[in-house]
Amino acid sequence: MSTLPPLPEFLAEIRRWIEVNIDTLAPFYRAAPETYEDRIAVGSRFLRVLYDAGWMRYGWPEAIGGFGGDARYRTAFYDTLWDTGYPPPEQHMTLEVIGSPLLHYNAPLAAELMPKYLSGEASLSQGFSEPEAGSDLAALRCRAVRDGDGPDADFVVNGQKIWTSNGYLSEQCILLVRTGTTESRHRGLSMLMVDMDTPGITRRPIAYANHHNELAEVFYDDVRVPSNRLLGEVNDGWGVAMYLLQFERGLYPWLRASRMLYRLELLREQLRERGLTDAWRAQELGHAFLAISALRARAARTVRRLSVGETIGPDSSGDKIMLANGEQLMLETARRVLGGQLQLEDSASARDWRSEWQFTRSASIYGGSAEVQRSIVADRVLRLPKD
């Protein structure tokens, strides 16, 4: 596509396409699969439809088959899907966190893999945390050593990862490993892209409280990884991880806020259908809307900065804090105003609300705990005194 439309025209084109293709899109309208496996399967089918129509190619460079543009095109597209009742494919969350770092640090590998991710042919996972290295990634021990002296020698990986997002189902995992000494801390880490069907990999799903197998424990026993699967340079994995985290703590909150606005509208509809429209509930919804709107305002600034190539750095911790607060407030509001429906009913709607409420309890832990993020803001943004 030679000419990229201005954003307002782009948004209008999406809505026209949705109206014309309403029958094709019917299976995805307000889809709420009850298992994580089904969410990934439905997401793959939806990605295929969106990719074939060209929409998944906006906001990505032509080098990987995209149409050009920046992150604003992608976020505008996802927002329009939410606004029109079509939840974006589950895979878009991980794709938005890992896609840009992959492009930045290994363009040839991105050209090979990104079309598969955008079309739903494959999906990604992120292997950072370990049993004794969660928030302190510089202490991780999963090790990769060269099988030879030359720069083309394979890496051999041994160790364990835990809390690997989408790790049970993904085709590839972006893996942070130790290539230096234990004492080198963050200066001795490297980032690899590992094919998850490689011999020596064992995956065990970990269920959230909502019973979704969204996480995994992964064991690596003499796993061979080709040298061309390195992102960045050897022992520069910390820099790659910090580059990635600005998307996880910056762009990701915008995407989650879009989801929360969608759920807030669902909640409002359900209350209206049940005749629960009293002033107290209206006030509760208003408080939730304000929290999500504050998150959106903060995240919009971050998306604009990422779109022009700025490095966000520790500022992104503020986005992560507001994300946890907004998500938890929104779903706690749903629990209160729905009352016994959320806790006791066995309808598909009640199970969906319970599942979402249970997931948001982890919002102040995943991607860096709230305590760690507040410390980063205090030390590196506000520069408060240590004592």
Q: Could you confirm whether 248 is annotated as catalytic?
A: yes
**First-to-final CA distance of the chain:** 57
- How far is Cα of residue 311 from the mean position of the Cα atoms in its chain? 19
Amino acid at residue number 157:
V
Contacts of residue 94, Cβ cutoff 8 Å, sequence gap at least 6: 123, 124, 125, 126, 165, 166, 170
Of residues 96, 217, 248, 327, which has the active-site annotation? Answer: 248
Which residue in the block uniquely carries the two structure tokens 């995209």? 66
> Do residues 199 and 221 touch, judged by C-beta distance below 8 A?
no
Among 191, 302, 198, CA closest to 247:
302
Cα–Cα distance list, 356 to 67, 114, 380 (Å): 34, 29, 33
Distance CA 326, CA 256 (A): 10
Which structure tokens are listed for 214? 């969204």
Supply the residues annotated as catalytic: 248
